[in-house]
Structure formats: C-alpha cells, structure tokens
Amino acid sequence: MTEYRYGLPSPTGVEGMTGKEILQAIIDSRLPQAPISQQMTFWITEVGDGFAAFEGEPGPHLLNPMGGVHGGWALTLIDSVGGCAANTLLPAGIGYVTIETKGNFSRPITVKTGRVRAEAQVVSQGRQVISAEARVLGPDGKILAHGTTTVLVIGTGKQGVAGKTEL
C-alpha cells in the first residue's frame, strides 16, 4: 500500500492553482491527501477534465453493527469523488460545497471485498451548480454503489492580480 501524507495545504501553497492542478498536486504527493482520507482509508488517484477517481480499502474500522462496511463509507466516496470531478473544472480561487448527495447500494461491501475504485464524471455544469454521477466498483469491476453529487460553486473568481477569472 502506498504511504500518503495527510493535511491541508496552506492558502498560499495553492494560490493561482486551478481545481484540477490542486488535485493533481495531491496525486503527485506535492500536496497532502485530505485528512478525511486517512480516517476513511480512501485516496484520490486520478483526475481529468470533469473526471476524478479514488481508491479505497474497506477495513474493520468501517464496520456497522451487522458486520458489513457501513453504507456511509460508500456514500462518502460518492460525495468525495463527485466533488473532486466538479473541482477539476473550477478556475483558481473558486471552490465548492456539496448541496446534495444521493447513493444507491447495489452489493454489500465487506472487509473481504478488497480495494475498491470510485469514479465520477460531471454530467451537468452551470455557473453556480455542477452535478456528477459516481460509481463505486469492486475489484471485479462490478458496481457496489452508485449515485450523484451536486455542488454549489463558491467564490467570486473576478479577474484580479492573481489572474483569477470571472465565473
């Protein structure tokens, strides 16, 4: 398993970087993985225009009282990968917050499932709202969960000294 470092980048450390550039810097280990990644044992591994992918390791720390991995883990993966897919389309100085996440659980996830892959693709991009569809896939490629994430774009983005663009 890859060794990651976790934390938040300083605002000056990401100044002038687009959302996609920030995420690629995390993948390249130039910036740390988000703190939630350590607790939830998932990591961003790939980005493209309107696309993001994570990998995750279900473990005993994620079990519900029935002995399965809690559905909140898959839902958090859907929200995280969908938000990152949206973030790949944002200019420097612009952020987002989730306004809705919906998930459907197709197959049980257990500690024996093995490494999963979550992928999201933006399906709708407006000035203020972006939606992405996401899938959580097992090692065999079967869909374990799927859903959507919708985010609200925040920040002014008006042209300024740092070269930010207006939305």
Predicted confidence (pLDDT) per residue in 30-82, tens digit: 999 999 999 999 999 999 999 999 999 999 999 999 999 999 999 999 999 99
Q: 25 exposed, middle or buried (CB, 10 Å; 0-12, 13-18, 19+)?
A: middle
Side-by-side strand order, sheet with 51-56: 42-48, 51-56, 116-125, 129-137, 143-154, 95-105
- Please answer whether residues 48 and 86 qualify as being in contact, where contact means their C-beta atoms are separated by less than 8 angstroms: no
pLDDT at 134: 98
Gap between the Cα atoms of 89 and 113, Å rounded: 32
Instruction: Please count the other Cβ atoms lying within 10 Å of the Cβ belonging to residue 115.
Output: 13
Bridge-based pairing state of the strands 42-48 and 51-56: antiparallel
pLDDT at 167: 46
Q: Which two tokens stand for residue 119?
A: 């992928």
Gap between the Cα atoms of 142 and 38, Å rounded: 25
Q: Which two tokens stand for residue 109?
A: 């996830």
- pLDDT above 90: percentage of residues in the chain: 89
Residue 27 φ/ψ, nearest 5 degrees: -60, -40
pLDDT at 156: 62
Instruction: Residue 26: name the closest of 50, 59, 54 by CA.
Output: 54
Instruction: Give the list of residues 6+ apart from residue 97 with CB closer than 8 angstroms, or none.
Output: 151, 152, 154
pTM for this structure?
0.90
Mean pLDDT throughout 96-112? 97
Q: How confident is the model at residue 164 (pLDDT cuts 50, 70, 90)?
A: very low
Mean of all residue pLDDT scores within the chain:
92
pLDDT at 155: 85
Asked if the model's pLDDT at residue 128 lies above 60, the reply is yes
